[in-house]
Amino acid sequence: MTSSRIRWLVIVLALTVPLGFAAFTGHAWEDYFITLRASRNLAEGNGLVFNLGERVHTFTSPLGVLVPACCTWLSGPNHEELALWFYRGFDALVLAATAALLWRRSSTLRLGAIGQLVLFGLLITDAKLTDFAINGMETALLVFFTLLLWSELESPGGPRASRLALVFGGLMWTRPDAFILAGAILVPHFVFREQRDSPANARWGAVVRGALLGGLIYLPWFAWAWWYYGSPVPHTIIAKGAVTPPLQLSQLLLVPWRLVSRADQLFLPTYQAFGGWPDVVVALGRGLSIIANFAWLVPGWSRTGRRASLTVFIGAFYLNSIIAFPWYVPPWTTLAIIVLAWVWDAVVTAEKLTAVRSLVRLSALVVVVIYVGVLAGTAWQMRVQQRVVEDGVRRPIGEWLHAHATPGDTVFLEPLGYIGYFSQLKTYDYPGLSSPEVVALVRSGARDYSSVIERLRPRWVVLRPFEIRQMEFSPLRVLDHYDVAERWSARARLDAITLLPGRRWCEWESEYVLYRLRVDAPKH
């Protein structure tokens, strides 16, 4: 097969694999519906808000809320599935463009055939990237801008300020914390410079100009958000920050040891920490992560690979300093895949390793095949999650509340997405993504559900069984003021499924109890 045909095959796979995953699973992520509630209000002329009349910044990504708003406007009200398919199609095209970009740059950098097999094999089969690119998150855009920045910096002719401006502006429009990602990509280019490079030459002048112009591209949103919400900082970040323990220097010092001693998320299935995946997948994921994080320490091989590896290593400090939700990981994984591609290429072309060259080629193919299996297992897991848990439990809870609650009712819950969207009630979620009232209480010392419920006295409370057990030991006994209104459980349906990778994650969200405040309960 010619190089041109292989390139088109890669682009087509990058487009069709996510769409096939979406068609098979129907997966719509919980957090997507948090954003979609604001997107829908904007599309219907009610402002970019979660609760009507309350200007609270309940989303993190500007593009992540504006693109779904456009899709919602195109589909019309109450057509959530069609709107999501518009969004999925857009994201699939973005991933195809990402693959085309990566093919072009890897070719100019003369990456060999085995390196390209690893590069595109792992990219197309990465389960988190595939899933979060089609389930409503902004992941596809974030990965595109990440690799566009990497590509520009690795360009043999040097980066262009205009392209860098687009990259920096696009990253910030995608996620306001993306400047950390951009910085992690930039720093290794100062550490591992090509011989022709120096900080004073045009290459770094283009970076500075691009960063300044990128800031101007982001400025309109920054200024508007400050005017509209009273702060340019998303309320989601403020809420999460209120419950995140202060970062200790000792935590950062232990990051290298953690990378060696435990499997991080780079090459593991979504929510693998809940269990239910084969040990070989965990072991392989750990091994690949260790290589990607520490390959920059090995002297004498490709500067391209070493720069990408140092970027991944820097990123590990960031991911270990926050609550690293799975959708934060794909851009770092794509950079780690670049490292592995150049590592395999370096090993297979090393003159001293001629005797094991065939084994190295075989190992690349085996790794890709294993991750095809991980992607297939994830697809089955998310298909079950969507049909049994999301469509069978969480969405019905929201619809039940919408049918039975009265105007002005409030509901306390942790999973804000499905239940909040389909109920359309005023929500007191923990830790307060949609609720400044909850954030204020957390900051004043209300660090558990019982304390928040006791002080706010919402009309409805939605809890998982394990959350109820935790609250039973609270001295407040706040549930004494509530009666059970309804129960939902999908455990029997899950138990009937024999083969289910990541079963415990599905079980985690499969049972809920809905409480109603008693009429005679004391008011607060």
Task: Specify burial of residue 314 (Cβ count, 10 A radius: 0-12, 13-18, 19+).
Answer: buried
Q: What is the pLDDT of residues 107-139, one digit of tens each?
A: 999 999 999 999 999 999 999 999 999 999 999
| Pairing outcome for strands 511-517 and 426-429 | unpaired
- Calculate the alpha carbon distances from 378 to 28, 95, 129, 438, 499 in Å: 14, 19, 11, 34, 12
Q: What is the share, in percent, of the chain residues with pLDDT greater than 90?
A: 78
Q: Determine the pLDDT at residue 70.
A: 97
Q: 441 falls in which pLDDT band (50, 70, 90)?
A: very high
pLDDT digit string, tens, across residues 404-425: 999 899 999 999 999 999 999 9
pLDDT at 201 (0 to 100): 47
- Report residue 462: phi and psi, to 5°: -110, 120
- Is the pLDDT score of 263 beyond 70? no
Question: Could you read off the pLDDT of 365-403 as tens digits, one per residue?
Answer: 999 999 999 999 999 999 999 999 999 999 999 999 999
Q: Which residue has the higher pLDDT, 200 or 128?
A: 128
The pLDDT of residue 249: 66
Least confident of 272-281, 389-398, 473-482: 473-482
Structure-token pair, residue 18: 């996510």
Q: What share of the chain is helix, strand, coil (3-state, %, to 5)?
A: 70, 5, 25
Region of poorest pLDDT, from 15-29, 202-216, 223-237, 261-275: 261-275
Contact of 362 with 161, CB cutoff 8 Å = no
**Residue pair 234/187 in contact by the 8 Å Cβ criterion:** no
Which one is predicted more confidently, 270 or 203? 270
pLDDT higher at 169 or 470: 169
Residue with tokens 């920059």: 296
Q: Please give the pLDDT value at position 357.
A: 80
Mean pLDDT across 5-12: 95
d(CA 321, CA 267): 19
Angle between helices 279-294 and 303-319 (to 10 degrees): 110
pLDDT, position 300:
86
Q: Which amino acid is at 507?
A: E
> What phi-psi label fits residue 426: left (phi over 0), alpha (psi between -120 and 50 degrees) or beta?
beta
- For the beta carbon of residue 120, count every other beta carbon within 10 angstroms: 24
